[in-house]
Structures are given as structure tokens and as C-alpha cells.
Chain A
Amino acid sequence: MKAHRNQPLYLAFLLHRLSGLGLALFLPFHFYVLGLALEGDDALNRFLHWSEMPLVKIAEFGLVFLLAVHFFGGLRLLALENMPWSNQQKNYAAIAVAAAFFVATGFLLRAF
């Protein structure tokens, strides 16, 4: 394994990329579900009732986590590129993941 891949900030990059990939793959499905409203409220409701299953809620937690981690990771990236460098980058990366986990857990607690 290349040395840079052991660095925490490489992991932050990888997490940002993989969360972005996951979200991009999820988007067409998200748009399709919302598009069900074109067929009427019932079509959308049938899907929403299916999404009440606990396993789907757990998957939703994962999606909210992906969105939150990509959001906070993106803020870290924008700050890194547009503000002066600091020695706190690793801490910011850790804070981004923690904040994402906090948001996603908040979602899960409300969902159940």
C-alpha cells in the first residue's frame, strides 16, 4: 500500500469520494420515487408505507449519513481550498465525520 494511503486525510478523501458515489447512485432512485406522485398520491403512498419497514429505516440512516458526511467533508474541502492552511486539518476531518454521525442518528431517532 502506498504511504499516503495510510494518512487520515487520504481516508477523508476516500470517504468523501465513496459517499459522493453512493449518493449519485441513489439519486435516480430518489427521483423515480418522487416521480410516482405523477401517477397520484396512492402510488407514492404505497412506496412510503413500504419504507416504514425497520430495515429500510436503517438504510435511510445510511443515506442520511452519506449525505451529512459528504456535506461536512465538502465544507472542509471548500475551507481547505479557499482559506489559509492550518495544522487542524485532521481535526476538521474528524469533526466532519462526527457531525455527520450526529445528524444521521438524529434522523434515525425521529424515524422510529
Chain B
Amino acid sequence: MLEIRLYLAQRISAAIMAPLVLMHLGLMIYAIQGGLDASEILARTRGSLFWGGFYGLFVIAVSVHAAIGLRNILCEWLQLRGMILVGLGWICFGGLLFAGLRAVAAVVGAP
């Protein structure tokens, strides 16, 4: 039952991220022109509800997606099972979610 839920969460998070990744790729190719500059990036993101929502959703989806992917690798390639596998999965999820939301707050929040 858990495996089915993880499988669904993996696919749903992928479907949520698909348009976000496409936009992120496009934005990167656009923003890299003439070099990256902190004030240029932050001028676009600071105080923006849109970018806060966009990257907040991105971080939540990628935390779910990456944690399940890493869990699969730990299970299939390193043969980890039981509580160690569950614990490491949650640590990956929690760590990515915390660091990601902190990053979003850093670029969207007031200086």
C-alpha cells in the first residue's frame, strides 16, 4: 500500500513539475545572457507573489519527487530496508523542503 502511494506521489509531483521545469529552463536561458547579477535576479523576485508561489510549489514538488527517487535508489541499489530506509527517506524530504523554502524566502522576502 505504501509503495502504491509513493508511486502515485512520484508521478503526481512529476506532472506538477513538468510545466514548472519548462518555465525554469526558459528563464535560465533568458537570465544567463550578459552574465548573472544578484540585484537583477532579486529585483525580479523580491516581493513577488507570483515567483514566491511558483518556486514555493516547485520546492514542495521537488522535495517529494527527489526524496522518493533517492529512496528507490537506496532500496534497489544499496538494498536498504525497514526503518533505515523510511528514516533516510524522511530526512531527504525534510532537508530538501527546509533548505528549499529557506532559499525561496531569501530571494522573495524583503532584504
Contact = CB atoms under 8 A, between A and B. Distances in A.
B86 interface: no
Please indicate which of the listed interface residues B22, B66, B103 has the most CB atoms of chain A within 10 Å of its own CB. B103
A27 B100 contact: yes
Interface string A44-78: 11001001100000000000100110010011011
Interface of B: 11, 14-15, 18, 21-22, 24-25, 28-29, 32-33, 35-39, 41-42, 62, 66, 69-70, 73, 92, 95-96, 99-100, 102-107, 111
Interface of A: 17, 20-21, 23-24, 27-28, 30-32, 34-38, 40-42, 44-45, 48, 51-52, 64, 67-68, 71, 74-75, 77-78, 81, 103, 106-107, 110-111
